[in-house]
């Protein structure tokens, strides 16, 4: 493979080119004393493809509007390629790449996007309500099969991770609380603290976060991919409402199963804590359960279970809306799935803060 060479011959007033002119042998253009060159001598050119031809013409300093320089001693097929390329050379200048934005601009863009998400969610809730009102009077149009499939996907599949996660959190929480309480001889109060923390805060929030990451992301990715492959459009033209077929079963499935998962999480967390208090603080299982019966009030459990369906509705609505607003390309599916998880987490944390303040003010 010979290198592509070009030099300017003063005597002939011509650019003398030789060697292999194709993309893999080329690095950069030679700088010429005269530009543009009016004669190109190609007697020594052994190979030439369209990339090479473009580079050759660029080396001669030819502007797009200039006439083709005189091509001398080129082989006929090389001459043809040069003429072909000259005809097709780009007719517009390259525009500069996007400039980098400052922190302020990024923050502004982020705030606008958040506002847009908020508005979009409201709009979506409106659509969903209209559709729900329509469906209430037509029970035959409910998608029971889809609802059942979603129940099993959202609920059954999530049980192992919920149990594992909450069990370990119960262990960790009881252990830390126990090591503090032991110093004051207040071993038995570990049970009080553990129950309050697991039932009221840890279980609902952690289960909601798990479901947002697990089911929320899956919903957006699935609906988004259906959008990309035009399945949603096909559904609409067949007279099926995507909201009735896809969104409502998912919202209902999450609404029903998240409290159940939180309850399972409650039990797993308490069992984890119970094991630790038994080992670390010598509180027997019997004493633990006895203490639990004394101090556990129904409202502690209900506060946690009350939060769950509200988290569920937000997760389902955000995930479905983001799925339906995917544009027709793969990148958009990824972006929207990420956005779903982020929005769900933010929503869960904000809602939980509101609930905590609200319950304290209401003295519940």
Partner 1 sequence: MAEIVIDVRDVSISLGGHSVHQDLNLSVTRGEVIALIGGSGTGKSVLLREIIGLLKPDAGHIDLFGQSVLDSTPEQMNALRRRFGVLFQDGALFSSLNVEDNVATPLFEHTRLAHGTCRQLARLKLDMAGLLPDDAKKRPSELSGGMRKRVALARALALDPELLFLDEPTSGLDPISARAFDTLIRLLADSLGLTVFLVTHDLDTLFSIIDRVIVLSEGRVLGSGTVAELKNIDDPWLRDYFAARAPERENAHGN
Binding span for partner 1 by CB under 8 A among 17-25, 165-173, 179-187, 192-200: 17-25
Pick one of 65, 67, 92, 139: the residue that binds partner 1 (CB under 8 A).
Answer: 92
25-32 long-range CB contacts below 8 Å, 24 or more apart?
A: 25/1, 25/52, 26/51, 26/52, 26/55, 29/55, 29/58, 29/59, 30/6, 30/59, 32/8, 32/59, 32/60, 32/61
Binding status of residue 354 toward partner 1 by CB under 8 A: no
Residue placing its CB nearer to partner 1 in the complex, 29 or 105? 29
For residue 18, the minimal CB distance to partner 1 (Å) is 19
Q: Which is nearer to partner 1, 332 or 356 (CB)?
A: 332
What is the three-class DSSP state of 19?
strand
Least distance to partner 1, CB of residue 105, Å: 21
- CB nearer to partner 1: give 22 or 143: 22
User: Closest separation between CB of residue 229 and partner 1, Å?
Assistant: 11
- Return the number of the residue (24 or 294) whose C-beta is nearest partner 1: 24
State in angstroms the smallest separation of the CB of 330 from partner 1. 5
Q: Which is nearer to partner 1, 97 or 160 (CB)?
A: 97
Instruction: Name which of residues 301 to 330 contact partner 1 (CB under 8 A).
Output: 327-330
Beta carbons of 276 and 332 less than 8 angstroms apart: no
Nearest to residue 261, comparing CAs of 156, 343, 344, 148?
156
Dist. CA 261–CA 156, nearest whole Å: 9
| Token pair for 294 | 């004394």
Size of the site for partner 1 (CB under 8 A): 32
Segment 23 to 82, residues that bind partner 1, using CB under 8 A: 23-24, 26-29, 49-52, 54-55, 58, 77, 80-81
Calpha distance 79→315 (Å, rounded)? 64
Which of 27/103 has CB closer to partner 1? 27
Q: Which residues of 56-65 are buried (b: 16+ CB within 10 A; e: fewer)?
A: bbebbbbeee
Residues β-bridged to residue 7: 16
Three-state secondary structure readout of 249-297:
HHHHHHHHHHHHHHHHHHHHHHHHHHHHHHHHHCCCHHHHHHHHHHHCC
Among 6, 85, 226, 312, binds partner 1 (CB under 8 A): 85
Q: How far is the CB of 322 from partner 1 (least distance, A)?
A: 17
Give least dist CB 328 to partner 1, A: 5
Q: Look at the block and give the residue holding tokens 């031809």.
A: 53
Residue (197 or 226) nearer to partner 1, CB: 226
Q: In terms of CB distance, is 54 or 288 closer to partner 1?
A: 54
Torsion of CA 53, 58, 61, 65, to 10 degrees: 90
- CA torsion sign for 62, 68, 70, 76 is positive
Nearest-angstrom CA–CA distance, 330 and 221: 10
In which residue are the tokens 């543009």 written?
A: 36
Q: Could you tell me the smallest distance in angstroms from the CB atom of residue 31 to partner 1?
A: 14
Q: Please give the residues from 95 up to 154 whose contact with partner 1 meets the rule CB under 8 A.
A: 95
Q: Residue 326 carries which DSSP code?
A: -
Among the listed ranges 83-91, 141-149, 239-247, 294-302, the one in contact with partner 1 (CB under 8 A) is 83-91
Question: What is the rounded CA–CA span in Å between residue 137 and residue 156?
Answer: 31
Q: What angle do CA 142, 135, 149 make, to 5 degrees?
A: 25
Choose between 65 and 91: whose C-beta lies nearer to partner 1.
91
Give 92 or 183: the residue with its C-beta nearer to partner 1. Answer: 92
List 75, 332, 339, 352, residue binding partner 1 (CB under 8 A): 332
Chain contacts with partner 1 (rule: CB under 8 A): 22-24, 26-29, 49-52, 54-55, 58, 77, 80-81, 84-85, 88-92, 94-95, 327-332
């Amino acid at each position: 493979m010979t290198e592509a060479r070009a030099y300017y011959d003063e005597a002939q007033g011509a650019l003398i080119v030789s060697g292999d002119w194709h993309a893999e042998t080329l690095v950069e253009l030679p700088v010429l004393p005269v530009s543009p060159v009016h004669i190109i001598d190609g007697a020594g050119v052994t190979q030439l493809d369209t990339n090479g031809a473009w580079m050759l013409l660029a080396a001669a300093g030819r502007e797009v509007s200039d006439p083709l320089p005189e091509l001398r001693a080129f082989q006929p097929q090389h001459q043809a390629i040069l003429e072909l390329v000259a005809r097709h050379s780009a007719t517009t200048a390259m525009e500069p790449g996007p400039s980098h934005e400052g922190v302020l601009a990024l923050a502004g863009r982020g705030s606008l996007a958040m506002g847009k998400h908020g508005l979009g969610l409201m709009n979506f809730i409106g659509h969903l309500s209209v559709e729900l009102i329509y469906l209430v009077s037509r029970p035959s149009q409910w998608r029971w099969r889809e609802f059942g499939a979603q129940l099993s996907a959202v609920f059954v599949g999530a049980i192992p991770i919920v149990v594992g996660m909450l069990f370990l959190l119960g262990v960790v929480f009881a252990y830390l609380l126990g090591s503090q309480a032991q110093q004051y001889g207040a071993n038995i109060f570990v049970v009080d603290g553990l129950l309050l923390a697991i039932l009221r805060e840890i279980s609902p929030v952690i289960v909601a976060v798990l479901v947002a990451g697990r089911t929320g992301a899956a919903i957006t990715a699935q609906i988004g991919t259906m959008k990309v492959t035009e399945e949603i459009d096909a559904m609409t033209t067949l007279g099926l409402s995507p909201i009735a077929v896809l969104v409502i079963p998912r919202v209902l499935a999450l609404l029903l199963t998240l409290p159940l998962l939180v309850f399972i999480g409650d039990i797993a967390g308490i069992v984890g804590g119970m094991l630790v208090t038994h080992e670390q603080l010598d509180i027997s299982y019997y004493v633990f359960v006895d203490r639990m019966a004394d101090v556990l009030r129904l409202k502690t459990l209900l506060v946690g279970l009350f939060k769950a369906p509200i988290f569920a509705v937000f997760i389902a609505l955000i995930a479905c809306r983001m799925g339906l607003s995917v544009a027709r390309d793969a990148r958009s599916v990824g972006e929207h799935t990420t956005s779903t998880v982020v929005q769900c987490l933010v929503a869960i944390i904000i809602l939980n803060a509101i609930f905590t303040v609200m319950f304290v003010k209401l003295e519940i």
